[in-house]
Copies of this chain bind each other. A is one copy, B any other.
Amino acid sequence: MTLKGFSVPLTPQGRSALATLPPWHYSSDCIAIEYWADPGAIAALLPPGVAPDQKSAGRAFFWFLDWQFTASNDELTDPARYQYREAFALVEAVFEGKPVNYCPYIFVDNDAAMARGWAQGFPKKLGSIYQTRTFSAPSLAAAPLAKGSRFGASVAAHGERLATARIQLEEKVADPAKVFNRPTTMRRYFPQLAAERQSKPPVDELTMSLTDNLAIVDVWAGAAELRIPEVPGEDMHLIAPLRVGRGYRLGMAYSVTDLRILKNYAGQ
């Protein structure tokens, strides 16, 4: 009998697998904070062949996302499994002369999202992530998409606060493509535990996220705050903000069916 599943655990029925074969469809609400970090700290995180973007001068974005996922079996109607929250940093870089983002840190609160993420190269760890939501019923608690609305967001892991952000909406963004226009690159990596090969990971690739049917909607910009404090057991504070730029609140959707492999480090 054939075993089924994109990821483990593989079973004859294929229901237990953390991830089934693509397509994977996503829709989200997002808060993103533009900021500038120490360019040297960013450079130190980049894999071979990815260079700091000199024009960016340390520019990065810190994202918080409330995600809903579905594959082909109405997964979105099982929100206890398929709804999740995510937070990550994207630092600006250059690959083969082209501007890209690179993802050095990412946190998520769901194991299926972790499995799909690792398969792409997102170095996901578990965290608790929250962002203020917009509700349609009018109230002081509703946070409408309107000038003056305030949103907060945070990510924590193991009881330590890793990042906290707040934004206040000022204006709608007419052309989001001017803000969010770099493809995202990652390092896809899977280690080897067999003693004599621990320094030779079988999977070590530079990858680029491919997003079908990308939609970015309802983009608002405004003032922003962002803190990434130092906590034990994490290195992320080394790319903490030296200066904070604009904050954004938007909706984003896409589908994933493929991944581009830019470089294979494993054979080197």
| Residue A198, interface by CB 8 Å | yes
Q: Which of A16, A104, A141, A216 counts the most chain B CB atoms within 10 A?
A: A141
Closest to A140 in B: B25
Q: Size of chain A's interface in residues, with CB distance under 8 A? A: 110
CB A138 to nearest CB in B, in angstroms, measures: 5
Q: Is the interface of A mostly helix, strand, loop or mixed?
A: mixed
Q: Could you tell me the distance between the alpha carbons of A133 and B47 in the complex, rounded to whole angstroms?
A: 37
* A139: contacting residue among B19, B27, B156, B259, CB under 8 A: B27
Q: Which residues of chain B have C-beta atoms less than 8 A from A140's C-beta?
A: 25, 70, 76, 255
Question: Which listed segment binds B: A51-59, A91-99, A177-185, A232-240?
Answer: A232-240
Q: Could you tell me the distance between the alpha carbons of A78 and B156 in the complex, rounded to whole angstroms?
A: 13
With A27-B135, A135-B251 given, name 17 new contacts (CB 8 A).
A6-B198, A7-B191, A8-B124, A8-B189, A11-B235, A13-B235, A16-B105, A29-B136, A66-B133, A76-B152, A79-B131, A79-B133, A80-B156, A83-B132, A156-B160, A194-B261, A203-B203
Q: List 25 A-B contacts (CB under 8 A).
A: A7-B189, A8-B124, A10-B123, A11-B104, A13-B235, A16-B105, A22-B198, A25-B140, A66-B133, A78-B152, A78-B233, A79-B154, A80-B130, A80-B158, A111-B114, A130-B159, A138-B215, A139-B255, A140-B255, A142-B253, A156-B156, A156-B159, A193-B256, A195-B257, A195-B259
